[in-house]
Each structure stands twice: as C-alpha cells, then as structure tokens.
Homo-oligomer: A and B are copies of this chain.
C-alpha cells in the first residue's frame, strides 16, 4: 500500500492506473474475471485494496441497463403478515446480488400509481407487489416497462405478468366449511376492509349461503381493534358461537376481550384467525388459523425475477402456494 487511503473516492480509472492496466481490463478483472489472466487479476485486486475502491453501480447500470435493484411495494411494513415475505425477498435477492427498494403504498390506490412512478424512475430490474395492481393506468405502465413483475399474496385471471399467492376466496370458504363441519351455526366475522380480507369474507359468506353478523374495521387490523370488534359482534348477536377474524393479531384481541367478558374459549366461543403469526401457536389458548407460507411466496417471487433477468426459463409463472387450516385449542371443543 503506497499511502494511507486517499480521501476522495477512487474510481476504476485510479485502480487501473495503480495496477498499470487499462480501464477496461480493470473492469473485467472485477466483473468478468474469466476473461483476464490470473496475474492481472491479482494486480487489480491489490490496486483495489490500495485505493479503497468501491464500485459505482449507478454508473455501470447506466451503460449495462441493469440496476441490480428490485422494487418491492407493500401496503405498509407495519403489518406483520408480510414480514416473512419481505424478509425472504430481501435475502433471496441479496444472495443473487440484487437489492430491494421498499415502498409503502398505504391502503390507498391513488398512492399506488404515484409510488410506482417513483420506483420506475430508479429503473429497477423487476417489481414485486403485495396484492394485485389495481389501477388500469398502473397496470399498463408496468407492462410497457418490459421488466418482470410479480404480484403476490393473491391470484387472478388477469395478472400483469407473473403471480404467486393464494386464493383468498378459497380460504374464506374453507373456514366457513370448517365451522359448518363442526356444527356451529351462529357465526360472526371480524374483518379488515382491504381487498384480500374482503375476498376471504366473500368466500366465507358464499360457502355459508347466507349473511352473518360482521364487524368491518379499516385495515390494518390490530389486537386493540379486535377487542372492540368482539363488543360489536356481541351486540349484533349475544349468543354468537364462532368467529372468523381476518388476522391473527385481530383474533388475539377478540380472545382477550372474550376472556375479559367472562366468555371461555373454546367452550363458549370458538375463534379462527388468518396468517399463522409467530405467536399464534404459543398463546393460551393457542389459535386456530389459516397458515400461508409467506416466506415461500417471497422466495418464489424473488426467484422468478432473478430467473427472468438472467434469461432462464420460468418453471411456473402462476403459482398457488396454497394454505392449510391449523386446528388448535381455540376451536378444540370436546365432542
């Protein structure tokens, strides 16, 4: 090392000069070493260390048209349901050299369009959205970019491009069917008002074939809102037997409020949530819920983007990861 590292950020030009090679050879030594002799590679690497060089991906991306970034849009990062997905996305992308740029669209469709534009101006190599892209303008916008797009956590007949998720209508139907199979008739629903929760609600009601007392709350749901929602449902039907809640935190609130009102779970009231949160198996009573493999959704979405970027064929561009109802103590009534 000739001197203490210089203050100004070194460029590839500096590295090349230090190594005594041309600019492009230095470039290749770092990003495509197969084309360069071992001796040269070593000299370039020494020069990198000596200069404290950090590559400028912005400059490289401008020419190569690969930013090595992927844009991720979630309604809000505060809702724990999507955390495993975001985490798996980040990790899978990172392993392939891509960085996730996270955007929060809120539960407001007009913001979706604006945020999308902001994201596109960074020229991501792919886009992953949580839920479907709803605005037609945004859908058209996305198609025109010609970059891979994955819609997640939902399924639809008209995807923008690729898709990995579940059928929320089926989830709602399965939970209603589960309640019916156990002979519970006086049901209730506590649900958020976002698109996916409403799909589950519709599936629930469709399978049941009739309306049920329902507490609607604005998304995102929370434990606190669950406590209030139970109050609302008990007003509508004081003898309610079984409640489906659109999230596990929400269901947890219903259970706590039930206990506070002297209702025993599951003897007096059974509860089923959605999402299988990390706490759901461990609270007391443990919570029956519909499990969805959120990490798998993130991993698959990332892999689809990566494969497409690298020109590999996509095994399946429309994946239903499915769900399963996990029966726990909150619905475990003696026969």
Contacts and interface: CB of A to CB of B under 8 A. Distances in A.
Interface of A: 5, 7, 9, 52, 54-59, 61-62, 67, 69, 76-78, 80, 83-84, 86-87, 90-91, 94, 99-104, 117-123, 141, 144-146, 222-224, 227, 249, 252-253, 256, 259-260, 278-279, 281-284
Nearest to A259: B284
Nearest to A119: B99
29 contacts: A5-B144, A9-B145, A52-B144, A56-B121, A56-B123, A58-B61, A76-B87, A77-B77, A77-B86, A77-B87, A77-B90, A78-B83, A78-B84, A80-B80, A90-B102, A90-B103, A99-B101, A99-B118, A99-B119, A100-B102, A101-B101, A101-B102, A222-B279, A223-B278, A223-B283, A224-B279, A249-B279, A252-B279, A256-B282
8 nearest A-B pairs in the assembled complex, by CB-CB distance = A223-B279, A57-B121, A223-B282, A55-B121, A256-B284, A224-B282, A54-B120, A58-B58
A144 B54 CA distance: 11
Contacts of A94: 103-104, 118
A328 to B, nearest CB: 14
A90 to B, nearest CB: 6
Contacts of A282: 223-224, 227, 253, 256
Given A87-B104, A91-B104, A104-B87, A58 B122 contact: yes
A25 to B, nearest CB: 20
Copies of the chain in the assembly: 2
Nearest to A253: B282
Contacts of A253: 282
A173 to B, nearest CB: 29
Given A58-B61, A58-B122, A224-B281, 17 more contacts: A7-B146, A9-B144, A9-B145, A57-B122, A57-B123, A58-B62, A90-B103, A90-B104, A91-B104, A94-B118, A100-B101, A102-B102, A222-B279, A223-B279, A252-B283, A253-B282, A256-B283
